Amino acid sequence: MANLKELKNRITSVTSTQKITKAMKMVAAAKLRHAEEAANAARPYAERMEGMMVSLAAGLEGREGPRLLQGNGSDQRHLLIVATGERGLCGGFNSSIAKAAAQKADRLIAEGKDVKILCVGKKGHDALKRRFKNQIIDMVDLSGSRKISFADAQPIATRALSMFDNDEFDVCTIFYAKFVSVLTQEVTAQQLIPASIPEKAEGEESEIDYDYEPEEEEILADLLPRNISVQVYKALLENSASEQGARMSAMDNATRNAGDMIEKLTLQYNRERQAAITSELIEIISGAEAL
């Protein structure tokens, strides 16, 4: 059984930890507001970009489109871009993304496919490097960026486009967490190359019929590379908001758990202290009676 000094040291230690987790929760809450605003601001642009590509793709009318839209006719080689955080202490945020990517990689490898993994963030790299050391081609470190910007996403998209032009993969998929709320972050796997264009429902007609100048193929050839950068940027913003939301929730739970532990340790300390006092009194009384 722990003595009084050990219990007091543990109470002091847990109290210090509680102060740290409470401070981290407040910092995450402040960062979350800015990250959520950025993610919400990027969604309409990404959605309109997707809508424009749907309209342009529908206007091709059976004509052959750019490789970024049609693909190269194969799905043997896959590039998985795994976007996670640079730091921990955010619950299951990083592990859930890495787990989804690992399951996808395992499934593709079991099917005889070639898999390459590009990690964006240290935590995803740390989680995957043990099992997929031979598949990981690089790790992008964004720890130096205080705030996610389009300049962070563009090199990632440029590298993916360069690899596709050099026939290093056939299909590219990015994994990230979509921000829903502080308590909910949805792990998302989005296909970037070939561009995933949602098909119109049967009988659905566009409200406005556009005439494009120049032709749709030329516009798509210029628009599709930009769309890759936009989608990567949106994924990084969603990830940033999700990470802060997960960290805020995790630190809130940690703060409450520390409070519960302090109460239990304080109760145990008081009981041990009372038992020690009672024992001393009994010894004094016994000694007085013996005299």
Tell me if 149 sits within 8 A of 70, measured CB to CB: no
Distances (CA, A) of 48 to 151, 182, 209, 229, 267: 21, 26, 16, 14, 59
Per annotation, catalytic residue among 90, 172, 232, 258:
90
Burial of 202 (0-12, 13-18, 19+ CB in 10 A): exposed
Tell me if 148 sits within 8 A of 237, measured CB to CB: yes
Active-site residue, 119 included: no
- What is the rounded CA–CA span in Å between residue 167 and residue 180? 36
Distances (CA, A) of 285 to 120, 271, 273, 276, 277: 71, 21, 18, 14, 12
CB proximity list for 42: less than 8 A, separation 6 or greater: 233, 234, 237
Q: Which residue's structure tokens are 């990567």?
A: 232
- What is the rounded CA–CA span in Å between residue 76 and residue 117? 14
Residue 204 φ/ψ, nearest 5 degrees: -80, 130
CB proximity list for 91: less than 8 A, separation 6 or greater: 246, 247, 249, 250, 253
Catalytic residue positions, numbered: 90
